[in-house]
A and B are shown apart, each in its own frame.
Chain A
Amino acid sequence: MSTALNSERSAILKQNRASRSERLLRAVRTPGGAVFVLLIGLLAAIMVLNPSFGEPSSFIRFVGRTAPIAIAAIGQYFVIVGGEFDLSMGSVVTMQVIVAGNLIGQDDAKVIPVLVLMIVLGAFVGLVNGLITTLLKVPSFIVTLGMMLALLGLVLYWTGGAAQGNPAASFRQIGRGGIQDVPVLDIIPYPVIILTAVAVAAFILMRRPFGRMLIAVGDNPAAAALAGSSVWWVRTRAFIMSSLSATVAGILLVGYAGVHPSVGRGYEFTAITAVVLGGVVLGGGRGWVLSAAAGAFALESLFTLLNFMGVQATWRDTVQGTIIIIAVAAASRSWQRKRKGASSAAHDEQHQLAATPTPTEGTEQGGERV
């Protein structure tokens, strides 16, 4: 047994010291890496069908309009990787859109106060979701479903279900405008900048103790609790981040599209699909945050591709449903293989390495597992 363990360790060590290209290749073979390949494939297919899509100015606009859903996917990632769901996201987007439309109106002076209010509201919704889930032990699925309906009802009550009019143009610039006259790109939409900032922040956060703890909690909450992390607070923070990302998405969407009670509809599912497509395991503990964002881009690219191919838009929901099922199936198979690791014949690479052990090299502890 101990020799097997030893050889396994050295195999890991070997893996971690593999060349950059080998490591990249291995990463690409995981679900979280494969989504990038998928994304590149989809983008290439779109450009073949429609070369003008590849022009920098059109492409950056595509990135800009996908930014809200990518930001929502990043938010949803935090909750999912922590082992929960956030179904209230779409309603939060809708609520924020309506709040912006109704409270700002045409008054530029109200832009900043209402922005602050929206962020507070977003954080509050997340806090409530998180506390009820963690402290009252109500499954997040039910809590956020309830929150989704409650917020939707509130929006309907407030608006009667119809739009009231767009807020001041200055507020809409956040989602609609950009830095003009940029060489090559022509324009850098503000949503692209905001998405980049969110992605970088999320990337750093997942490498900090909070991120490590969140993954540990998602993987095995009991073990994480025993190891001394406060599970409830870690998860609650994930919910708050999810609602805040929905708020940011809402702010961008008001600018991009305008105020309408249908804005944000179905956002939670698109975000969950994107996260799952990014190889993040439902139930938590596995997956990369940037893959979730890539999943959002892959999903939007897929819809654009279907659109260019002349597939009826009515098929869209079917496509989305099928993707969820296939992606969950593929991810769970793949992660299962990975978990079994060297003992599994299915994982050819490690198996091979384990079969031909190399001499041990001083330290036993390699870096982190990829």
Chain B
Amino acid sequence: MRNNSVRVIALAAALPLAALTACTTTDPSVTQTTAAGTGSPAASSPASKDWFDQTLYDTQNQQRSASFEGDPEQPYLQYIAGAMTDTSKFAAQGPQKVCFANASISNPWRQTGWITMNQQLKALQGAGVISEMETRDAKDNDNTQIADIDYFIAEGKCGAFVISPNSTAALTQAVERACQTGKPVVVFDRGVETKCATTFIHPIGGFAWGIDTATFLSEKLKSGDKVVALRILPGVDVLEHRWAAAKKIFEEKGIQAKDYFTGADPTEIKKIISDELATGDVKGVWMDAGDGAVSALEAFEDAGKALPVMTGEDEMSFLTKWKQTGIEAMAPVYSNFQWRTPLLALEKIFKGEQVPTEWVLPQKPILADELDDWLQRNEGMPSGHYAKFGGEDLDGYPEVWQQRQIP
């Protein structure tokens, strides 16, 4: 008996430990950004924070139809006209070393971007702009990334910093410390709560995504129809913004939307859809990121039900399935080509050319009439590839992306 109780105690003591390890593995599945799961207050109290922000909603709503400066053939260099940063003090001679603090490469979106970024790096190395890029991967951990940035600062060999923050609040001070070195700092993807960066590069944003997708579904469906919203996890601002906007629109249009957190786990997604199909008809599926879109559709197929109207993402697996099944769908895009922009921005900065202080990149969804075109342009690409990766003109295209060797 004593033996037993000792074991039970051991298990009880170990549960939180193992739960913690399980928790950290939850994070990688976030598309776009990262999981704030490891210690960000936002993640631990999703209900206490109202993510809807009318000002931001209105701004992004307008930006959806804004005109972009620059060549549409090079969307990764386009931006919305606005305040510019004078970078003459950063003008530099000869190739510079770039230090990149990356949140992670733990999802297909980040991996695709990372491959593109490396090809862009090679091009700029060849052009004598960048000597080398030292990258530290924070593996979805705020603390690791803060340490990474401090390591770069202490090392003192960085000609410029590129930071893709793991979470907004936690990384703010580390980014400020990088700014204090007097070197250019480029922040991209997710933001931080400081304006000190030379440029902050990002596509329009989560509200625009939510508006595009929810408007599409509301137009295709009738008031009273049921939509299942599949969300990856709570507490990540980009994802929460997508849902906040979509939820508002669904409520206005009388669409019954029921949201679930899936952790991007296809097993969960299938169970959720199966259960929902057992309770009644599901007319639409909304996703805050396309990872797992195929599983959602398979659940309809397996249950023998009519396929839904759906919004996924520009991931090849979804585009292919969309084409195969002929469903009514759209693919919102969180522009993957933004991974090229930080290095190209540095090229300008090292020349002392102005760059937008907030560099808002185009974010244009793929609609049904463009589907064939995007499938054709990405023929032979693997299922985790993102159609709008924007690296067609780089060396190594298409083999590097087709073989998907992570650098």
Query: Which residues of A are at the interface with B, using a C-beta cutoff of 8 A?
Result: 50, 52-53, 58, 61-62, 65, 83, 85, 87, 90, 139, 141, 145, 148-149, 152, 156, 160-166, 176, 253, 256-258, 260-263, 265-266, 268-269, 281-284, 304, 307-308, 313-314, 317, 321, 324, 328, 332, 336, 339
Residues of chain A contacted by B406 (CB below 8 angstroms): 160
Add 4 more A-B contacts to A268-B18, A307-B275 (CB < 8 A): A262-B263, A282-B11, A283-B5, A304-B271
Q: Are B234 and A314 closer than 8 Å at their CB atoms?
A: yes
In the bound complex, what is the Cα–Cα distance between A262 and B267 (angstroms)?
A: 9
Identify which of B19, B22, B46, B383 contacts A165 (C-beta below 8 A). B383
Q: Which 3 A-B pairs have the closest CB atoms?
A: A161-B106, A283-B4, A257-B266
Identify which of B5, B107, B269 contacts A162 (C-beta below 8 A). B107
- The DSSP consensus for interface residues of chain A is helix
Q: Are B270 and A257 closer than 8 Å at their CB atoms?
A: yes
Q: Which of B52-60, B79-87, B122-130, B290-298 contacts A (4 or more CB under 8 A)?
A: B290-298
In the bound complex, what is the Cα–Cα distance between A156 and B298 (angstroms)?
A: 26
Q: Are B295 and A257 closer than 8 Å at their CB atoms?
A: yes
A-B contact pairs, 16 of them (CB 8 A): A65-B271, A141-B10, A156-B28, A160-B106, A162-B110, A163-B291, A165-B317, A166-B294, A166-B383, A257-B265, A260-B266, A261-B28, A265-B22, A282-B11, A283-B3, A313-B272
* A263/B302 contact (C-beta < 8 A), A164-B382, A328-B8 known: no
In the bound complex, what is the Cα–Cα distance between A283 and B17 (angstroms)?
A: 19
In the bound complex, what is the Cα–Cα distance between A281 and B1 (angstroms)?
A: 11
Residue of B nearest to A324 (CB): B15
Q: Are B274 and A61 closer than 8 Å at their CB atoms?
A: yes
Identify which of A161, A304, A308 contacts B107 (C-beta below 8 A). A161
Residues of chain A contacted by B4 (CB below 8 angstroms): 281-284, 332
B135 lies within 8 A of chain A by Cβ: no
B93 lies within 8 A of chain A by Cβ: no
Identify which of A85, A149, A163 contacts B108 (C-beta below 8 A). A163
Query: A96 to nearest B CB, angstroms?
Result: 14
Q: Are A308 and B279 closer than 8 Å at their CB atoms?
A: yes
In this complex, which of B3, B26, B267, B294 has the most chain A Cβ atoms within 10 angstroms of its Cβ? B267
- For the side of the interface on B, what is the size category? 35 or more
B260 lies within 8 A of chain A by Cβ: yes
Q: Are A58 and B18 closer than 8 Å at their CB atoms?
A: no
In this complex, which of B111, B234, B260, B265 has the most chain A Cβ atoms within 10 angstroms of its Cβ? B265
Q: Are A258 and B278 closer than 8 Å at their CB atoms?
A: no
In the bound complex, what is the Cα–Cα distance between A304 and B302 (angstroms)?
A: 18
Q: Are B22 and A269 closer than 8 Å at their CB atoms?
A: yes
Q: Are A283 and B7 closer than 8 Å at their CB atoms?
A: yes
Identify which of A50, A139, A321 contacts B15 (C-beta below 8 A). A321
* A65/B270 contact (C-beta < 8 A), A162-B28, A282-B11 known: yes
Residues of chain A contacted by B278 (CB below 8 angstroms): 50, 52-53, 58
Q: Are B266 and A263 closer than 8 Å at their CB atoms?
A: yes
Query: Which residues of B are at the interface with A, using a C-beta cutoff of 8 A?
Result: 1, 3-5, 7-8, 10-11, 14-15, 17-19, 21-22, 25-26, 28-29, 46, 104-108, 110-111, 234, 260-261, 263-267, 269-272, 274-275, 278-279, 291-292, 294-295, 298, 302-303, 317, 382-384, 404, 406
Residues of chain A contacted by B17 (CB below 8 angstroms): 145
Identify which of B18, B108, B275, B295 contacts A269 (C-beta below 8 A). B18
* A304/B275 contact (C-beta < 8 A), A257-B266, A260-B292 known: yes
* A265/B265 contact (C-beta < 8 A), A162-B28, A282-B8, A304-B275 known: yes
Residue of A nearest to B26 (CB): A265
Residue of A nearest to B112 (CB): A162
Residues of chain A contacted by B19 (CB below 8 angstroms): 269, 317
Q: Are A313 and B261 closer than 8 Å at their CB atoms?
A: yes
* A165/B11 contact (C-beta < 8 A), A61-B303, A176-B302, A314-B234 known: no
* A161/B104 contact (C-beta < 8 A), A152-B25, A265-B26, A332-B8 known: yes
Residues of chain B contacted by A307 (CB below 8 angstroms): 272, 275
Q: Are B108 and A162 closer than 8 Å at their CB atoms?
A: yes
* A263/B265 contact (C-beta < 8 A), A65-B270, A162-B28, A166-B383 known: yes
In this complex, which of A261, A262, A282, A332 has the most chain B Cβ atoms within 10 angstroms of its Cβ? A262
Query: A208 to nearest B CB, angstroms?
Result: 25
In the bound complex, what is the Cα–Cα distance between A156 and B24 (angstroms)?
A: 12
Query: B300 to nearest A CB, angstroms?
Result: 13
* A141/B104 contact (C-beta < 8 A), A165-B317, A313-B260 known: no
Query: A24 to nearest B CB, angstroms?
Result: 28
Residue of B nearest to A265 (CB): B25
Residues of chain A contacted by B104 (CB below 8 angstroms): 161
Identify which of A52, A85, A164, A269 contacts B384 (C-beta below 8 A). A164
Residues of chain B contacted by A268 (CB below 8 angstroms): 18
Residues of chain B contacted by A332 (CB below 8 angstroms): 4, 8
Residues of chain A contacted by B261 (CB below 8 angstroms): 313-314
Residues of chain B contacted by A339 (CB below 8 angstroms): 1
* A261/B29 contact (C-beta < 8 A), A161-B107, A269-B22 known: yes
